[in-house]
Structure 1
Amino acid sequence: MKTACTADAAAVERLSVAQLHAAYRGGRLSPVEVAKDLLLRLEQAQAAVNAFMPVDSSQTLAMARASEARWRAGTPIGPLDGVPVTIKDLVAVEDWPLLRGSESRVGEPSPTEDAASVARLREAGCVFLGKTTTPDSGSRITTESAVHGVSTNPYDVSRTPGGSSGGAGAALALGVGPLALGTDGAGSIRIPAAWCGVFGLKPSFGRVPSAKFDIDMPFSVIGPMARSVDDAAYMLEAMAKPDPNDAFALAAPFRLNEAMRSDAVGLRVGITMDFGNPTWPVEVEIADAVRRAADVLSNVGADVRPVDVRWPLAPLPTFNVFWEALYAGALALMPQAQRMRMDPALLAIADRGARFSATDFLVALNGRLAMTAAAHALFSGIDVLIGPVMPCTAPLVANNAPPGGTEGNWDWCPFTYLWNMTGQPASSVPMGIDRHGIPIGVQVVGAMAQDETVLRVSRVLESNASARIQPGLFDQLSGVAGGG
């Protein structure tokens, strides 16, 4: 294999999964040289936006050498063999620190085994580039912590990349690998995907295995983030393998061919500007992006219609019971000394959650079930629902909220946590930029277990030239990182 030099090296940060696979197969690129190029790019991106935590890159190079040997022997594992991926610091990687963005875990021994999702990626031959930043225990809508510092948005470093997978979103935007592993408990994949101009999918609950119990499992899922829908689909296929220890695994298999269809003919598409939860006004440019997405789908043969989404109860109070009580439960299991080293904002969330009674929690559970039933009824008449990911684009890091909003208050983030409550798949698709040059994302929501339909519709939107962010912006971002 030739090394990744000159023309090939200059394009490494742009290559998709399929392009890397073809370059490895043709001997034009080596997994080792690609890994070395992207580790350098990681350092440059880190200096620009602080998206990574320190890890030992020797494991990265060892994985790349093993992939290179398989390619030389003509025995690659599959489409992801040798493909670089980053892992969010809420997910365990064998022999790499797992801080969960928290000072309380500094000095703890590294995990001795991978999380189930990470194990599937390792089995697929992926090369792990590094771990991306997250706020303490994934508890913020932005990405900053005492242990990782503040992560910023590559499009404007005075703004947040979103959270809690903000490091993953910023890294993708700067070309640090084509894939990133994120988690989403209330929007943590979709918010940074929208604000960093990349694609993100919150899969259906149970689609990606989570073999060990996590206190936020009733909402949180692990999913792919990528610079293209196809790349995310390849990643999801690799992860969506059954695990005997996962009590919540979906019985329905993931169908890659269906996810990679290029048509929307006959699909019933609902359009909404508030998802039935109008707690914050939607900016005009975001509403325009949703309308453009609706026009794209209508023009390719989808049946697009406005939908009046109605919930049987106000979603936010019910969500807050779970959000706050689950953090209270997690912190109650910790020694007091460790607890007091956590983010004060997280401690405040947990303290509020500790005031709920068992009756409060059961009433909220009843409300969640009612919301899920209402969503199932809604999706009996449509295949997907499209609308905003967020009512605003990325706010300034100095505020961590839009004008008039307060940090950590979910009233200005009303459109993402709904689908964690119901367990349904939902994506964020880049749909242009606002007047400040900050990306806008449109959300595509599907019926339970219909991840393929969400990806299919997302792919149609992505393939429409007017819906994509212009390539020149990627060049500007490359300049921020110092080039590949």
Structure 2
Amino acid sequence: MGAPLAPPVASALDESPADLDARALADAYRTGRLSPVAAAEAALARIARLDALIGAFVHVDPPTTLAMARASEARWRAGAPLSPIDGVPTSVKDLLAVAGWPLRRGSLAHEAHPPSAEDSAPVARLREAGAVFVGKTATPESGYRIVTRSRVHGVTRNPYALDRTPGGSSGGAAAALALGMGALAVGTDGAGSIRIPAAFCNVAGLKPGFGRVPAVPPSLFMPHAVTGPMARTIADVAAMAAVMARPDPRDPYAWPVPFDEAAAAGPVAGVRIALSPTLGTPGQADAATRAALARAADALEAAGAIVEEADPVWPVDPHEPFMVFWEATYAGFLDTYPPERQALMEPALQAIAARGRAIDGLAYHRAMGQRLAIASAARAFLNRYDAVLAPVMPSAAFDLEAEAPPGERPDDWRWCPYTYLFNMTGLPALAVPAGFTDDGRPVGVQIAGAAGTEERLLRLGAAIEAAIPACRRRPALVAADAEAVR
């Protein structure tokens, strides 16, 4: 992780640079009150002081980070920043390539690999926009768990409750954001991997619709898995999405429509929203989650949206085809490795792949038909409503050492049915903080919509954020760290 850094250079700001969001950082850079170098130093210092306790990062490279920050500082001094996020400290989940850095994917099978030769497409868009990379964040092996634990890095803890999980598989990204170890974070989401950690760690995360953020090189996990932005504020998610959504000519599925950041802000009056506590599944959200949904619905109604309770009706239990795709995809993915490297992978991941190899072509074809029927049902429902407000998870973060809440099987996704629906349909979904349990664990809600409605979802998320002060509550560790530095 590198040697501990000295406290960052003091700024003329009331808060530590590590605790400023991207918009505040850009304003400070523009007025000369703060340098991108000081912001990078603050993020690196926060990592150096706290990450041994949390386990959010698997790779930190201060010389590279500070070189990127110095280049950004020169651009801001010349009045020529590359974008509104130029100079903003940003982390990248270790399922994506960053040129010159290792790509471990949370797996011992990658330990001997050389550094990546080039950036993944979304990472390249961020580099082109001047983002300053502070490091790579932890993931479970190949993103297969909804907790963040691997034999590469150990376990990642929830910054709000150290005996709880931050969720997965973008758990390192969410934990880092919550603690000010960067203002922006890149996550991936194949079944909820952006939204689950965002909900557990009181940050926001957008799973874009399939094709909205370029995917190069192509992945066997497409179209279910996408790359998306995570941040502490909805406005920062929007600014990051505007950059990440810039197309790549090598992606055959990339949307030709630019992301409209201006449309991601503004009024929500008249927007029709279905409040769906079950999302048409057997899932049962607990009292704290239902209360968070009610707060979010009240916030949207107060902002002028039209909210009514309604559940979609699915032609088949979505869990059935989801498990076919989940297991078959991991079977295909593992089979891209030679047997000696597969043997280095976690037994539970190998078991998923083994089940996937047993799925025959007819069963897979049947699942494809079921997925199309589910997508059609989602489209019909979202012709009646502009968005649906639903849980992310049935409860807040569970015990750190567990794979699922008490009484639930980690290999049976029926206990958490709310997120993977939008991976199977390819639709966008946004996780928004919406409060806390009585013992201080964050609770998030999810807003999903039809294809191409990311900007609308962000407007709705901003209305919730503005009405619920708890969205801005940071972990006690942040205040303790700031006091220790003073």
Structure 1 length-normalised TM: 0.96
> Does residue 265 of structure 1 match 2:269?
yes
Q: Secondary structure at the match of 1:131?
A: strand
TM-aligned CA deviation for residue 36 of structure 1: 1.2
Offset of residue 192 of structure 1 = 0.2
5 Å matches for 1:236-315? 236-261=241-266, 263-278=267-282, 280-315=283-318
SS at match of 1:158: coil
From 64, 83, 98, give the equivalent of 1:78: 83
Q: Which whole-Å CA distance do the structure 1 matches of 2:286 and 2:482 have between them?
A: 30
* Residue number in structure 1 paired with 2:367: 364
Residue 58 of structure 1, CA deviation: 1.6
Match of 2:442 among 439, 442, 450: 439
Structure 1 residue 409: deviation in Å? 2.6
2:408 corresponds to: 405
1:352 is matched with 355
Query: What CA distance in whole angstroms lies between the structure 2 residues aligned with 1:257 and 1:430?
Result: 22
Cα deviation, residue 432, structure 1: 0.6
> What secondary structure sits across from 1:142 in the alignment?
coil
Deviations 1:6-52 (A, max 9, x none): 55384212212111111111111111121111101112231221000
Q: How does 1:88-237 map to 2 (within 5 A)?
A: 88-237=93-242
Question: Contact (CA 8 Å) 1:197, 1:430: kept in 2 or not?
Answer: yes
SS at match of 1:379: helix
Partner of 2:4: none
What letter matches 1:305 in structure 2? E
1:64 equivalent in alignment to 2:69 = yes
What are the Cα deviations for residues 145-188 of structure 1, in whole angstroms up to 9, with x where unaligned? Answer: 00111001011111100000000000011111110000000000
Answer whether contact 2:72 2:86 (CA < 8 A) is retained: yes
Match of 1:429 among 425, 429, 432: 432
CA distance in 2, matches of 1:141, 1:475: 24
| Distance apart, 1:315 and its partner CA | 0.5
Instruction: Give runs of aligned pairs for residues 383-422 of structure 1, distance below 5 A.
Output: 383-422=386-425
AA of the residue aligned to 2:246: K
1:483 and 1:42 mapped to 2: Cα distance?
14
Measured at CA, do residues 434 and 90 of structure 1 come closer, stay the same or move farther in structure 2, by a change above 3 Å?
same
The SS at the match of 2:13 is helix
Shift of 1:470: 5.8
The answer to whether the Cα contact below 8 Å between 1:134 and 1:165 also exists between their aligned partners in 2 is yes
Please tell me whether residue 341 in structure 1 is matched to residue 344 in structure 2: yes
Shift of 1:481: 8.2
Q: CA deviation at 1:332?
A: 1.1
Letter in 1 for 2:171: G
Q: Distance in 2 between matches of 1:482 and 1:163?
A: 30
Q: State the Cα distance separating 1:220 from its structure 2 match.
A: 0.3
Q: Determine the C-alpha separation between the residues in 1 that align with 2:145 and 2:23.
A: 34
Extract unaligned runs of 5+ from structure 2. 1-7
CA offset at residue 480 of structure 1? 6.0
Please state how far the C-alpha of 1:305 moved relative to its aligned partner: 0.8
Q: Counterparts of 2:295 and 2:140 in 1: how far apart (Å)?
A: 33
1:252 Cα deviation from its structure 2 partner: 2.7
Question: What is the TM-score when the length of structure 2 is the normalising length?
Answer: 0.96
One-letter amino acid of the structure 2 residue matched with residue 463 of structure 1: A
Q: Which amino acid aligns with 1:175?
A: G
Please report the RMSD computed on the Cα atoms of aligned residues, expressed in angstroms: 1.5
Alignment of 1:25-44 (within 5 A): 25-44=30-49
Q: Distance in 1 between matches of 2:289 and 2:80?
A: 47
Are residues 1:316 and 2:316 paired? no
What residue identity is the alignment partner of 2:30? Answer: R
Counterpart contact for 1:41–1:483, Cα < 8 Å:
no
Q: SS of the residue aligned with 1:8?
A: coil
- Tell me by how many angstroms 1:483 deviates: 5.6
Helix, strand or coil at the partner of 1:430: strand
Q: Deviations over 1:390-440 (max 9, x none)?
A: 001111012221111122431222100000000111011101100221000
CA distance, structure 2, for counterparts of residue 475 and residue 159 of structure 1: 15
Distance 2:328 2:129 in 1: 37
* 378-387 vs 474-483, which moves further: 474-483
* Contact 1:175 1:478 survives alignment (8 Å): no
Alignment match of 1:378 (pick from 381, 399, 410): 381
Given candidates 19, 25, 28, the residue that maps to 2:24 is 19
